[in-house]
Amino acid sequence: MIGGTWQTSAPARSWSFPVARIAAAMVVLPVFLQAPWVRLNPFSATLFTGVLIAAGLVMHRSRSQTASDLGSLLVGFSGSWLAGCIFWGWLRAHPVLHLPVEAFALPVALGGLQGRWRLAATFYLSSLVGTACTDLAMAATGVMQFWPAVVTASLDQAPLLLHQAGTHLLQPLPLITLVISAVLVLSAGRRLNRNNSGFTGDAGSMAAAVLITTLWVDGLFLLTALLQPGLSGLIE
């Protein structure tokens, strides 16, 4: 996908605000806002998707180019938000469903790459690729096997299980696999930042920011799992 599947005939342009930085912030936001909200009340968190979409649509119709671009980005973010609420709210014990749920809007996003919703589609697809990279790395390192037990364990057992999952990643083969995965993601991010990538203009920079920020969030999660499992966000 990164190698050119996202090639689009839409003209290159520069967005009217630092889109890469805002997109990176939107990747981090679910860690601090969505995760605790979903644990507390997944239904209301899911309903909030409607607020995000409505706000995005209203802003997108604004005469201000900055507001319009921010609205488009917000619509793309709403897709990732909705998928996260559904999975972590009701399906978190079934990791095999994670990527399919996250990809629910894939056909719409692919179609949006060629029109005025390109910014929304780019953010959603970049976030989806980041999720796919994370899940594939978890499967390749063998840590996926810990997932169902961690999210369904009691409060006194979950931190221990999560710590075991973290220490499993420090074994030679999983660690090598993890490093290779990180290098590939960083390489993809650098490629997207180049002018000759499948994206042009700031869209490539935004996609790179989303992927690299996802990598940093995953690294922070691993560090938390090793040092303070209770703060990881997976334990209720």
- Going residue by residue through the chain (236 aa), what tens digit of pLDDT does each one get? 433 344 334 444 555 567 788 888 899 888 778 888 998 999 999 999 999 999 999 999 988 888 898 999 999 999 999 999 999 999 999 999 999 999 999 999 999 988 889 999 999 999 999 999 999 999 999 999 999 998 888 878 888 888 888 889 889 999 999 999 999 999 988 888 775 444 455 678 888 889 999 888 888 877 777 776 655 555 55
Residue 2, domain member (yes or no):
no
* Beta-carbon count within 10 A of 125 CB: 24
Long-range contacts of 36-41 (CB under 8 A, 24+ apart): 36/233, 38/84, 38/85, 38/88, 38/89, 39/88, 39/236
- What's residue 236's pLDDT? 55
How many Å apart are CA 227 and CA 95, to the nearest integer?
Answer: 24
List the domain range (segments joined by +) for residue 48.
Answer: 19-231
Nearest in space to 182 (alpha carbons), one of 168, 169, 195 = 169
Residue 147, domain member (yes or no):
yes
Residue 10, domain member (yes or no):
no
- What's residue 173's pLDDT? 96
Dihedral (CA of 225, 229, 232, 233) sign: positive
Structural domains in the chain (count)? 1
Residue 6, domain member (yes or no):
no
Residue 87, domain member (yes or no):
yes
Residue 86, domain member (yes or no):
yes
What are the DSSP calls for 189-214, one per residue?
HHHHHSTTSSS-THHHHHHHHHHHHH
pTM of the model: 0.86
Residue pair 101/83 in contact by the 8 Å Cβ criterion: yes
Residue 201 class from Cβ within 10 Å (0-12 exposed, 13-18 middle, 19+ buried)? middle
Residue 158, domain member (yes or no):
yes
Question: H or E element: which one contains 69?
Answer: helix 65-86
Residue 1, domain member (yes or no):
no
